Structure 1
Amino acid sequence: MRYSLYFLSLFFSLSMFSQQEDAWVYFKDKPNAQVFLDNPLQMLTQRALDRRANQNIALNVTDAPLEKSYVDQIKASTGITILAKSKWMNSLHIRGTQSSIAALTANSFVDKVVYANRNLNSSSGKVTVSPVENKNVTAKVKIDYPYGNGANQIQMLNGQVLHQQNFTGDGKVIAVLDAGFPGVNTAQPFQNLINNNRILGGYDFVARSDNFYTGNNHGTLVLSTMGGYKENALIGTAPDASYYLFITEDVVNENPVEESYWVEAAEKADSLGVDIITSSLGYFSFDNPNYSHIYSDMNGSTNFISRGAEIAFSKGIIVVASAGNEGNSSEPHIGGPADAVSVITVGAVSASKVKAGFSSIGPTSDNRIKPDVMAQGAPSAVSNTAGTITTSNGTSFSCPIMAGMIACLWQAHPSKTNQEIRQMILQSSDRYTTPDNNYGYGIPNFGSALGVQSFENTTTFTVHPNPAKTTISFSFSHLNTPASVIIYSVLGQKVLEQQVTLENQDVSLQALKSGLYFYSFDAEGLHRTGKIIKQ
């Protein structure tokens, strides 16, 4: 029996070391980085350099490519397969046996190896490119778009105000990272993009193929919410933006390499000069439970994909991610990259602005507010691969709806940085003063962020007297429905809520102590926030 136990133990030991594992191998340096930094057009397009220059972002060593000799030595190592590369992380995603992977640490240029299986760690492409055409167009008159079934998902965000002034995403480039884009090159709702050369290129990082009009139809539905154009049926939030389409999701296998594909695609998007990355993908659990994340990983700095998203933001890109659809599950929290600090994480609400039960929630494990904002995702109007306009549920669709509107807003404010645009969106949201981990900062008002509430700008709004002793008036015109006034303490606690009308615009402050308060005023098509002082 003793010998049997010995050989059984030996068998399991050998099995463990012969099993294929995923890992990241990190390099210590980039010895030839300065050569590339002195010649940046070898690694970045002029558009990418312009984006950095416009936001005063300097080049650094993360912009330089991996050291080729290091990559070649890893590639030649026995039992090792390279699955993905990241210049930002100075790393390779590899697969091999535990013994083969461990042997890589003998190379002097290897900094560390991190296994996808946390139990094994010592501590617990080619892209088809077309040029972007920037057009300076000034709207002379109000333009009304025949939104059709997609009207509410735009009007909820007051996005029609931007469209009416011809801010429709023109000159902005959006990279869509998803599971596939079949039908985009043939279906009628995408012909506006095709005919105007607004599909700039793409790549399938999973299959390592130039054919990106393939794969799962999820990306097709996602793109339609931004770039679709079918009059009286569906018009997307950014019909005149330009797009790169990248496949990074393996719909057959759920494996951490998908996070590496995502970062690789984000790096390519950066080098091509994109302005916005939108991704309706999220990672928490994998097929191999040893690879799965745990809630404590959702701190914005642990997950490979979230770290990559944060670097993308540091390059001047706005990153928009879906919150996820696990709100009704035993683990309802957001995954990566939605947990990243600078990512605009989007949850889903119904047409009546009520949070969808499936929409994943915060906080992050380091107790930050997530999601950031909300948009309609229960349901959203989308186009399928045949060009039929239908509906679908998920934060997968509220996310690109938001991303398209962000492109329009940035077109309207081209001198703003990505950080400034992000803050403008949050500050325009209807729960900005009282965020929570279900709605985040709420539903943005892009008319407010633009600086106008409507094209005609006929509504007047004043709050007086301010400071006030007993009563304050919220005066407004040209609104036919009651407005909601909510007053908050400096700690964000709701202390008063009242409806006001054209006939009765006064709010009594007699129950409040003297001091500083914040107000939120909401009516159909009009959102205002501000400060009041009770004397």
Structure 2
Amino acid sequence: MKKILFISFLTCSMSIFGQQEDAWIFLKDKPNESFFLNNPLKMLSQRAIDRRIAQQVMLNNVDVPIDSLYFATLKSIKNVSILGKSKWLNAVHVKAPKKTIDSIFTSLSFTHKIEFADKSLNNLSNKSTRTGYHKKHNNHKNKLNSLTAVFNYGAANTQIKMLNGHFLHNKGYTGKGQIIAILDAGFPEVNTLPAFQRIRANNQILGGYNFADRNTNIYSRNNHGTHVLSTIAGYLKDRFLGTAPDAEFYLFITEIEESETVLEETLWVEAAEKADSLGVDVINTSLGYSTFDNFKHNYSYADMDGKTTFISRGANIAASRGILVVNSAGNSGNDSWKYITAPADAENVISVGAINKDSIIASFSSFGPTIDGRIKPEILALGVNSAVVNATNGNISLANGTSFSSPIMAGLIACLNGKEVVYTKTSNAINAPIKNYFLKKSLIESADKFLNPTAQYGFGIPNFETAYLNYTDSTSSINESTFASIKVVPNPIEKEFSIVGFTNTNSTFDIKVYTILGEVVYQKSASSTSEIHKLNVSRGFYFLSIKQGKLEKILKIIVK
């Protein structure tokens, strides 16, 4: 039997020099799973746990960190560079000669499979659909479009009002209470420009990390992220307003401008995992991947199925944790590639294309559908002459790209997400975080081409007033029902509690208490009187479900 700690022979035999290859080593299991699932605050913030409760998302082994012993073993091997890791995918990104990587796989019992970035090095079954690689490196111009002109007073009017986003603002939904993570190429001058003074003064920048350089200097690198952030958070009195000016932000640098490598996919997933653990509500990423400096790593259109690329797999998991993930569709509409890029192909990502002020599609906006026929992009926003704050001089400028249609949309999505609703899972067929399911459904159904989507327009231009009304209608009967005022007292509880606030005194309700892992620890059919319920459980956080027919309300309770 192989011993994972006995690696002395590995450190010798793996001193094999050769072509350095990128690969993801997927691990078999997580021996520490029980500990972390029983102690969720060791891996997630309370806000992240609360988001799962609100979305009816149970914890599982996907949330558990990579085993520290496995990781230390890999890190100790000579001639192997550890570039990154993902707990969601239980994978470690390494760079080493192929023979070394192969030796790791055959010699260590905890390895499950290897995926080389160069698909020709993988087994034949993995190569069968990987054709049509691009040898021309062109992604940088597609991702980081430059500013083109100077604008002035009222610059943000068009990009907000064409989506009827001002309807949300007028109702008081300006992003307050929402946390947005921006995953991008850099945020220089966000700490100095007047346009960000308001969010600095109000402590709306909660932190971040520079994954590209593995340090905390987030106000560095390419100014693309600064321009992106400005469309959401920028404020210049009477001159410019972002789409979610009262949201809070984490800023993560995952893009390495000077090169184009698969490492950026890994860094993106790492950042998304960090955002999840911090309790982020919305992720915006104006990045996309299809071609790389090493053409052997390039993706084909056949890979745009939402489950092949490392980054798209990570993005889908982020959405499954209850995060609204918004991504630019890509700027390849005029290129030979022309299609969406990863992770815009991921099924649960909201992909955003670009239009001009006349609601005509931008020629550069990337095409769908995905290779498996799903509509992408789903929706559109202004991406031609979008108003942004120029990181160089702090003035208002114009910029082109789905890089800007995406954050414009993400900010308004955050505003809509700020509407508090009580909802029910009306169908067991809904296999998604429930609140986000209703929000996305309402948004897409508000779009002008919902009944006749096309390859480049998707479902079209959403109307946030209609989306708001759709969202409200889908939950209003519940909000106005007896569920609205129900609460648990006391909370936190010790051994006993009551459920109060029933307005219909002639009804009975099914009561169920279950752990964050979904294990039912108490259930009873209760009348509408304030009867006493007794719990015999250990300390911790629990869900309490109150259900009548198809209506259900979920409350968080704490047992002291």
TM over 0.5: yes
* Residue of structure 1 in register with 2:67 after alignment: 67
* Residue of structure 2 in register with 1:485 after alignment: none
1:32 offset after TM fit, Å?
1.1
1:413 offset after TM fit, Å?
3.9
Deviation readout 1:137-166 (Å, 9 max, x if unpaired): xxxxxxxxx981110100000000110111
Which secondary structure state, in structure 2, belongs to the residue aligned with residue 438 of structure 1?
A: coil
1:429 correspondence with 2:447: yes
Gap change, CA 1:371 and 1:181, over 3 Å in 2: same
Amino acid at match of 2:383: G
* Residue of structure 1 in register with 2:140 after alignment: none
Measure, in 1, the Cα distance between the counterparts of 2:263 and 2:402.
23
Structure 2: unaligned runs, 5 residues or longer? 1-15, 128-151, 424-434, 472-560
* Residue of structure 2 in register with 1:405 after alignment: 412
* Residue of structure 1 in register with 2:397 after alignment: 390
1:232 offset after TM fit, Å?
2.4
Measure, in 2, the Cα distance between the counterparts of 1:216 and 1:377.
20
Identify the match of residue 342 of structure 1 among 325, 342, 348: 348
Q: TM-score, normalised by structure 1?
A: 0.77
1:68-87 matches, within 5 Å, as 68-87=68-87
* Residue of structure 1 in register with 2:179 after alignment: 173
* Residue of structure 2 in register with 1:204 after alignment: 210
Amino acid at match of 2:154: G
Amino acid at match of 1:62: V
Measure, in 1, the Cα distance between the counterparts of 2:344 and 2:238.
33
1:75-224 matches, within 5 Å, as 75-105=75-105, 106-123=107-124, 124=127, 148-224=154-230
Structure 1: unaligned runs, 5 residues or longer? 1-15, 125-145, 454-535
Amino acid at match of 1:115: F
| RMSD value, Cα | 1.5
1:414 offset after TM fit, Å?
4.7
Which secondary structure state, in structure 2, belongs to the residue aligned with residue 451 of structure 1?
A: helix
* Residue of structure 2 in register with 1:359 after alignment: 365
Amino acid at match of 1:276: V
Identify the match of residue 446 of structure 1 among 441, 455, 464: 464
1:438 offset after TM fit, Å?
1.0
Measure, in 2, the Cα distance between the counterparts of 1:393 and 1:157.
18
Does the 8 A contact of 1:426 with 1:432 survive in 2? Answer: yes
Amino acid at match of 2:282: I
Gap change, CA 1:392 and 1:192, over 3 Å in 2: same
Q: Which has the higher contact order (CA 8 A, sep 6+)?
A: 2
Which secondary structure state, in structure 2, belongs to the residue aligned with residue 48 of structure 1?
A: helix
1:35 correspondence with 2:35: yes
Measure, in 2, the Cα distance between the counterparts of 1:151 and 1:350.
13
Gap change, CA 1:388 and 1:414, over 3 Å in 2: farther
Which secondary structure state, in structure 2, belongs to the residue aligned with residue 331 of structure 1?
A: coil
* Residue of structure 2 in register with 1:143 after alignment: none
Which secondary structure state, in structure 2, belongs to the residue aligned with residue 321 of structure 1?
A: strand
Amino acid at match of 1:83: L
Which secondary structure state, in structure 2, belongs to the residue aligned with residue 412 of structure 1?
A: coil
Deviation readout 1:244-285 (Å, 9 max, x if unpaired): 000000001100010000000000000000000100000000
1:354 offset after TM fit, Å?
0.2
Measure, in 1, the Cα distance between the counterparts of 2:89 and 2:49.
20
Amino acid at match of 2:221: G
Structure 1 stretches (4+) deviating beyond 6 angstroms? none
Measure, in 2, the Cα distance between the counterparts of 1:331 and 1:370.
15
1:210-359 matches, within 5 Å, as 210-359=216-365
1:78 offset after TM fit, Å?
2.0
Measure, in 1, the Cα distance between the counterparts of 2:166 and 2:420.
16
Does the 8 A contact of 1:82 with 1:92 survive in 2? Answer: yes
Gap change, CA 1:185 and 1:333, over 3 Å in 2: same
Gap change, CA 1:394 and 1:415, over 3 Å in 2: farther
Does the 8 A contact of 2:165 with 2:412 survive in 1? Answer: yes
Measure, in 1, the Cα distance between the counterparts of 2:153 and 2:176.
18
Does the 8 A contact of 1:54 with 1:415 survive in 2? Answer: no
Amino acid at match of 2:52: R
1:186 offset after TM fit, Å?
0.5
1:363-378 matches, within 5 Å, as 363-378=369-384
